[in-house]
Structure 1
Amino acid sequence: MNIEKITTLGQLKKSGYTPLSIKDEIRKNLIEKIRNRENPFTGVMGYEDTVIPDTERALLSRHNILFLGLRGQAKTRMARLMVDLLDEYVPVISGSEVNDDPLAPLSSYGRGMIAQHGDETPITWWHRSERYGEKLATPDVSVADLIGDVDPIKAANLRLSFADEGVIHYGIIPRSNRGIFVINELPDLQARIQVGLFNILQEGDIQIRGFKLRMPLDIMFVFTANPEDYTNRGSIVTPLKDRIESQILTHYPKTIETALAITEQEASILPQQQQMVTVSDLVKRLIEQVAFEARSNEYVDKKSGVSARLTIAAFENAVSSAERRAIIHGEKTTQVWISDLVGIIPAITGKIELVYEGEQEGPYQVAVNLVDKAIRSQFITYFPDPEKAKKKRNTGKRSQEEKAEENPYRTITRWFDGGNHVDLLVDIKDADKIAGLYQVDGLYAFVKKYFPHANEKETALLMEFVLHGLAAHSMISKRVIEGRIEFKDLIGSMMNLGQMNFGEEDELTEDDLN
């Protein structure tokens, strides 16, 4: 159908156009995509076997939908992507505030236009990108905002009686007729406003003050809500929830791989940053692990959730931290080091809600602990578990080779036990950092044993990772002081602080000291 040639109601009738309700329209296009093995929700990852099938079933059933889940779980994105299931264009009567279907007008304006012009009634074509309305529910939202009210100025200008339907100023919902309308954070909507949605959902009617108005709106409703809101800030009134046919539970990524793909897709990294800064898979996984640690951390409020936006912002900060360091030293290229993760702390503190104990600990310290826990968790996927090495007492008459086999970190920790230390400035040159890492006896050989094919930069990064990993497992000490990271022996550091008390079970043996 050539829509450019169809500009009047008469031409539309001759074209054989048959209107569909929006839910039937979505159903028709969804069926086509399913048959063609197309994903109607491109760009949404991790929902292939859960949320997307549930959503498809709801749309095939022509249901209104409530997405229920914690923040940062792509609820609004799912709703916005439904626009792609609409027909590219639909006809409307020109000038209609409620997007009247020329073949079935709802408003007095639409009916009046047809009565006046007949088959010459002018029509326009409405693109699917414009058939989407969205409102964030806040306590100050009124019935007039959503549904409409009498406009006295309009009545005065048009010299109309207040009993005339023409004095109504329609709210955002009637203006979304024949489209998708989304209300985000539904529980934040006052209960009396939620009651105003009853008739719209059940019968499709709107009620405005004293008007006897029947306007069966054709709208696909999508609501989003956070489970926390049911108790902390508000609730969805039961009769309204009963009228929303499908409630779909969303969730966070279940695997690191899915989380990596989401961050890769969503992070905004400039081309010049990509040319200057290399980000290893190791660093990417550490950043994602921070979110996984936060979601199970005792100091973080689980009811509030930890958004995927945390890792996206953290990834961007990590790249910018490396970029800033390279600019300071005039280096053309660099990589994100483990020490650059100091720069992601601000991205963490602003994205987590703390329980009382967490507030006492402080958001900065909680964020630092989350980074350390991420390093600790990921370390054992790259190298032997230090906890197992610590449990094996190197006692008895055994050769150094046998002891090293039981504790692969022995050579490294003995170097620190000998009073040696490594100071790495956060903003140090790459060459100086590598030189500092090579000071540690056995560190290079240890990394090469497990990653023989790593290139020079990868090896250096893994060497730094080993130091942070050993510190996270309390085999050496790490202190961050004024832009400097200091690695020393654990026992000496604790003695210097006067914090060491040994019981009988923790008594040091001569072999432990050696």
Structure 2
Amino acid sequence: MKIHDIKTLGELKKSGYKSLHIKDELRKNLVEKIRNKENTFPGIIGYEDSVIPDTERAILSRHNILFLGLRGQAKTRMARQMTQLLDEYIPVIHGSEINDDPFHPLSKYAKDQIAQHGDDTPISWLHRSERYGEKLATPDVSVADLIGDIDPIKAANLRLSFSDELVIHYGIIPRSNRSIFVINEIPDLQARIQVALFNILEEGDIQIRGFKLRMPLDIMFVFTANPEDYTNRGSIVTPLKDRIQSQILTHYPKDLETSLAITEQEAHINEEQKKITVSDLVKRLIEQVAFEARSNEYVDKKSGVSARLTIAAFENAVSSAERRAIIHGEKETQVWISDLSGIIPSITGKIELVYEGEQEGPYQVALNLVDKAIRSQFITYFPNPESLKKRKTTGKPSQAQKEDDPYKEITKWFDKGNHLDMLVDMKDADKIAALYKVDGLYGIVKKYFPRANEKESALLMEFVLHGLAAHSLISKKTIEGKIQFKDLIGSMMNLGQFSSEEDDDDTFNEDDYK
């Protein structure tokens, strides 16, 4: 007979089952996983050498945990995954509101059941997926919500006095007995509410409107907090923080490869969208946007830039390409650099700006972040234009220096007065044809990427144009769904000649003003 087929207390005693405190249970199962070389927190990427070892040490030490870090750093996910370290099933007194252990009952209801039925006391089995409680801390959370209160309706229906323990309505914490209980954003909890957690964490005592109950609740507490909250909205009161034995610092991905893996895992791309090709180049540009945002002077570093930014941006980039393909009836397409204009809504909603950023405007800041991402990644694929500009500033370039400039044909084509207009929703064939009009553009791609196929080459050609604009060798202007590339000097001379209507819609690269 399977252990969870046992239905009575007597059968449970005969089975030899032994109950454990939840922290001992977590410890036991973690030790087994570590010995078996199993991944203790599957799906958590980038924490293998930092947060995960710290968390394992805390569990082995039977500690309550505080995850401290900026938004979007998988703090809640780490807490939720701890349920996988619990036993698959545990026995509880059937009908108990607080998951009473049949061998160590706490509530009056459970004690009365055992007194009345003895070994025939019915038990049920609780799956580990049900042994998780979570509460988002908000200023309106009350002690009654967390701990409990007297229920006058229950007292009236049962005809009991308010001094009877059976009239208590238990809060979410007692109902999470023998479970993992998480309070997210703990600094947002009022100080007097945090005080109510002292004894629960340390002594296991709870007090409800005059009831002094000795209820040693068996709970693994996990708290999450943003460091900015300590000064912005509230703080963790010192005695409560002192009772949380392990404080674990979380962090953002430390490198682009880790960030790529997280987005690849988390982005929701449906089957219809999987026919759209997304190059490694585009993926890296999207991830680079987040790295640029985390160091940008206009973005509030204390608020952080969530990993959700790149996940949403990746989904939007794919959807931009899908929308274009639907418009033109194309069965397949790829995400172009111009499709990154579709990720702006994913950026503006996920960055907090400082005062200067608010003055600049979230839309313009987002555009600048995309340009900076292009600028940063460009030099990993093609020669750095900055080194060429430095050589030119030392004096009149020699013939040898001119020949060393791999972009001279391209910039010379624009210097002749030519310009290239590319619609954001342009058909793939039309875009490729337009790109081939620019002298030297195909040549430089073939020089550095000789094995690239037609579509890869076209994407790299478009990337070169955006990269040269980001490095101020040519100009780029976006007007109502059209991207126009021109020579830099001519664009600067005509800067004051645009109509007021164009001025409202035009967006210039910030380097165009240098």
**TM-score normalised by the shorter chain: which range applies?**
over 0.9
Distance 2:346 2:397 in 1: 51
Distance 1:310 1:257 in 2: 16
Matched, 1:174 2:174: yes
Is the 1:349–1:364 Cα contact (8 Å) retained in structure 2?
Answer: yes
Distance 1:5 1:388 in 2: 74
Q: 2:504 maps to which residue?
A: none
Distance 2:146 2:353 in 1: 35
> RMSD over aligned Cα, in angstroms?
1.1
Q: 2:351 maps to which residue?
A: 352
Q: Which runs of 5+ in 2 are unaligned?
A: 498-514
Which whole-Å deviations, capped at 9, do the CAs of 1:451-489 have from their partners, x for residues lacking one?
A: 000000000000000000000000000000010000000
Which whole-Å deviations, capped at 9, do the CAs of 1:31-70 have from their partners, x for residues lacking one?
A: 0010011111000000000000000000000000000000
Taking the TM superposition and a 5 Å limit, the aligned residue runs for 1:8-157 are 8-157=8-157
Residue identity opposite 2:326 in structure 1: I
Q: 1:462 aligns with which of 443, 455, 460?
A: 460
Distance 1:33 1:421 in 2: 62
Question: 1:381 aligns to what SS in structure 2?
Answer: coil
Q: 1:382 maps to which residue?
A: 381
TM-score under structure 1 length normalisation: 0.95
Distance 2:264 2:4 in 1: 41
Taking the TM superposition and a 5 Å limit, the aligned residue runs for 1:252-401 are 252-275=252-275, 277-393=276-392, 398-399=398-399
Residue identity opposite 1:56 in structure 2: E
Question: 2:356 aligns to what SS in structure 1?
Answer: helix
TM-score under structure 2 length normalisation: 0.95
Distance of aligned partners of 1:443 and 1:156 in 2 relative to their CA distance in 1, 3 Å threshold: same
Taking the TM superposition and a 5 Å limit, the aligned residue runs for 1:401-412 are 402-412=400-410
Distance 2:234 2:91 in 1: 40
Which whole-Å deviations, capped at 9, do the CAs of 1:422-456 have from their partners, x for residues lacking one?
A: 00000000000000000000100100000000000
Q: 1:503 maps to which residue?
A: none
Distance 1:273 1:397 in 2: 49
Which whole-Å deviations, capped at 9, do the CAs of 1:112-152 have from their partners, x for residues lacking one?
A: 00000000000000000000000000000000000000000
Which whole-Å deviations, capped at 9, do the CAs of 1:338-380 have from their partners, x for residues lacking one?
A: 0000000000000000000000000000000000000000000
Which whole-Å deviations, capped at 9, do the CAs of 1:378-410 have from their partners, x for residues lacking one?
A: 0000000000011112966844xx234431111
Question: 1:139 aligns to what SS in structure 2?
Answer: coil
Residue identity opposite 1:461 in structure 2: L
Is the 1:390–1:407 Cα contact (8 Å) retained in structure 2?
Answer: no
Distance 1:405 1:498 in 2: 35
Which whole-Å deviations, capped at 9, do the CAs of 1:245-267 have from their partners, x for residues lacking one?
A: 00000000000000000000000
Question: 2:72 aligns to what SS in structure 1?
Answer: coil
Distance of aligned partners of 1:231 and 1:397 in 2 relative to their CA distance in 1, 3 Å threshold: closer
Question: 1:207 aligns to what SS in structure 2?
Answer: strand
Is the 1:3–1:125 Cα contact (8 Å) retained in structure 2?
Answer: no
Distance 2:91 2:350 in 1: 44
Is the 2:206–2:212 Cα contact (8 Å) retained in structure 1?
Answer: no
Q: 2:430 maps to which residue?
A: 432
Residue identity opposite 1:76 in structure 2: T
Distance 1:153 1:396 in 2: 91
Is the 2:46–2:253 Cα contact (8 Å) retained in structure 1?
Answer: yes
Q: Percent identity between the aligned chains?
A: 82
Q: 2:512 maps to which residue?
A: none
Q: Which runs of 5+ in 1 are unaligned?
A: 500-514
Question: 1:157 aligns to what SS in structure 2?
Answer: helix
Superposed displacement of residue 497, structure 1: 2.0
Q: 2:200 maps to which residue?
A: 200
Question: 2:381 aligns to what SS in structure 1?
Answer: coil
Q: 1:216 maps to which residue?
A: 216
Superposed displacement of residue 3, structure 1: 2.6
Residue identity opposite 2:88 in structure 1: E
Distance 1:133 1:316 in 2: 31
